[in-house]
Amino acid sequence: MAFGRSSRRKRPVEPVTLKILVAGGFGVGKTTLVGAVSEIRPLRTEERLSEAGRPVDDLAGVEGKNTTTVAMDFGRITLREDLVLYLFGTPGQDRFWFLWDELAQGALGAVVLADTRRLEDCFAAVDYFERRGIPFTVAVNLFEGAEQFPDEAVRTALDLDPEVPVLLCDARDRASVRDVLVAVVEHAMARADRLREPATT
């Protein structure tokens, strides 16, 4: 029996796995983003907001929020047959920031999710990734009723470097979130290539 090329078994591709963080302020949509795009049931560590947390949890603009992430959200998405992203959503409140260093270990890059109604809430995440040299993309979550601003206005308000991508997204929409994640990977890879380039004298 003759065997043609088509009859040969294709060797399975071993995918490259990359770690991406999803950060931002309290109630900005991090858990929603991970859940919208994950191809597995997301791991969530949410707890109900309590009376004890009212003095420290600013609910301005997110009055309907009744749960909060206390450790992380986790999800997975296959971008290509040979590329899988593991998503780690960070907790948004100040009192959980001690977890960030653990979550950031080995991360290729990050998404900083922003809400134009409370843009100052993502300053801490921007500062964190800048200080640690972790490439990131800012994704402005399009909440209903929130005023939209041009990308450059957001860039100026956050004092971002010119190469940091700024995108609009809907954290509930799988295709929109996927575009953001692709932008993070491309930005991180381009930055790595620039760092590998020999310095010119």
Q: Per-residue pLDDT averaged across 162-167, rounded?
A: 96
Ranges 64-73, 96-105, 119-128: which has the least confidence:
64-73
| The predicted structure's pLDDT at residue 5 | 53
Q: Per-residue pLDDT averaged across 8-27, rounded?
A: 85
| The predicted structure's pLDDT at residue 27 | 86
What angle (nearest 5°) sits at the alpha carbon of residue 160, between those of residues 132 and 101? Answer: 20
Ranges 40-54, 132-146, 178-192: which has the least confidence:
40-54
| The predicted structure's pLDDT at residue 14 | 85
Q: Per-residue pLDDT averaged across 142-164, rounded?
A: 92
| The predicted structure's pLDDT at residue 69 | 47
Residue 70 contacts residue 96 (beta carbons within 8 Å): yes
Rg of the chain in Å (alpha carbons): 19
pLDDT at 126 over 70: yes
| The predicted structure's pLDDT at residue 189 | 95
Cα 61 → chain centroid:
21
- Tokens at 87, concatenated: 């998503």
Mean pLDDT, the chain, integer: 83
Q: How confident is the model at residue 170 (pLDDT cuts 50, 70, 90)?
A: very high
Q: What percent of the chain has pLDDT over 90?
A: 59
Q: Per-residue pLDDT averaged across 136-162, rounded?
A: 93
In terms of C-beta density within 10 A (0-12 exposed, 13-18 middle, 19 or more buried), how is residue 97 classed? middle
pLDDT tens, residue by residue, 54-89 = 444 454 554 554 555 445 789 999 999 999 999 999
Q: In angstroms, rounded to a whole number, what is the distance separating the alpha carbons of residues 180 and 110?
A: 10
| The predicted structure's pLDDT at residue 45 | 58
